[in-house]
Amino acid sequence: MAKNSFLDWDVVANNNTDAGGIFIGEGCPPSNINNSEREIMAQLKAGLDGKVVYAAKSGNYTAVLNDNNAVLRFTAAATLSLTAVATLVANWHVIVVADGGDVTVDPNASETIDGATTIIIPNGYSALIISNGSAFFTNKMWSIVQPKATMAFGQCRLSLSGANLLLSRFSGQLLTINGVHYSIPSAGITLAPTALTPSTLYYIYAFMSGATMTLEASATAPAVDATTGISIKTADATRTLVGMARPVTGPAWSDTVKQRFVRSWYNDPGVSLFSNFTANRATTSTSYVELNSEIRSEFLNWSGEVVQANAAGSVISGAANGQNRTSLAFDGTTTEPGGSQATLTNSDTVPFSAQAMKSGLSEGYHYVTLIGLVSSGTGTWISDVDGRRTSISGRVSR
């Protein structure tokens, strides 16, 4: 049998009587020696790797024939373009390490890798790429985190950091955008409220601007992507929902116990509310009215969340045997179950409390406030010292 590759060579020297069918046994023509040397060199070139070559890349790069058996370590997000597969020939291979950003692997023209026109190796992972002479394939290690199945990731949380919104990593680093899993930068990505309209609800979406993950604020509501099952900007799968926010005058972002105007779609722990009167508030109304808008606790609510609220403080009646009634209300003056009633003699001060558990609120902006009425005279809700100060506390969560 002709020895057409080094794998056909025999460990017994006398059995190696040809090289690729060129006879090199005793009495062979002198020219066969020259031709067999050339054949052996060709077999070694085709069948053996050179030494492993390490090369660090900080930007886009095109892999060439001489990169065979190289380890290409990318220290930033980049695109690795592959020279035509026919030029790289069968068995050409490299190891690609994404160590600073996602690496997009892009074969030449319409050529494919694992049957796709491109693949993305997420930051922190690697892949072996090999040519069979007509297409490229990988060892599939990258697909542990970048499967072709409809797996989705939301390993992030949106919060307020300084003056800007910040999308940061949480329990991982991947976010699915348009069916592809991208690594969130270690420092996160930010969004300023520049040119936004105060008191407007904005949904916050993440998208890829080239190789850079970016945030945008949009008044367009989200919808569920039928392919991936994640929430996206309606009719635009390139935008993945990561939160919602409502700027205040400035414009500026706000996230305080009185104004919970930044909510994360992923990994949101819920928010706590608190507000109180800074001055005594009085009414003579015999029907429920908001006692003063300063006690409103404003918040953004995801569909399906529940709001638990409690009010406590002290009241004074200005009429003998007068009644002060107190209740919590959402977005108006409709009472909630769990209000209180106090019957007082003139100028008595007594404590009160009220509770509410609210579900079914629409998604978006809401507030909880304190409403009250009196049977006669003037009722006053106290603000002067802790222990008597009228306040509302609450919790919004899924």
**CA pair distance 170, 158, nearest whole angstrom:** 10
30 sits in which H/E element:
helix 30-47
Taken in order of first residue, the domains within the chain and their CATH numbers are 6-47 (no CATH), 53-144 (2.60.120), 156-264 (no CATH), 271-397 (2.60.120.40)
For residue 345, the SS3 value is: coil
Give the pLDDT of residue 235. Answer: 95
Is the overall model pTM greater than 0.85, yes or no?
Answer: no
For 159-193, the pLDDT digits (tens) are 999 999 999 999 999 999 988 888 999 999 999 99
31 versus 149: which is more confidently predicted? 31
Going by C-beta distance under 8 Å and a sequence separation of 6 or more, which residues neighbour residue 176?
A: 151, 152, 153, 154, 182, 228, 230, 240
Burial class (CB in 10 A: 0-12, 13-18, 19+), 370: buried
Q: Which of 69-83, 165-179, 248-262, 373-387 has the lowest mean pLDDT?
A: 373-387
Residue 133 identity (one-letter amino acid): G
For 294-345, the pLDDT digits (tens) are 999 999 999 999 999 999 999 988 777 778 899 999 999 999 988 777 666 6
Structure tokens at 132: 């069979």
Give the pLDDT of residue 384. Answer: 84
Distance of CA 12 to the CA centre of its chain: 62
Burial class (CB in 10 A: 0-12, 13-18, 19+), 10: exposed
For residue 277, the SS3 value is: coil
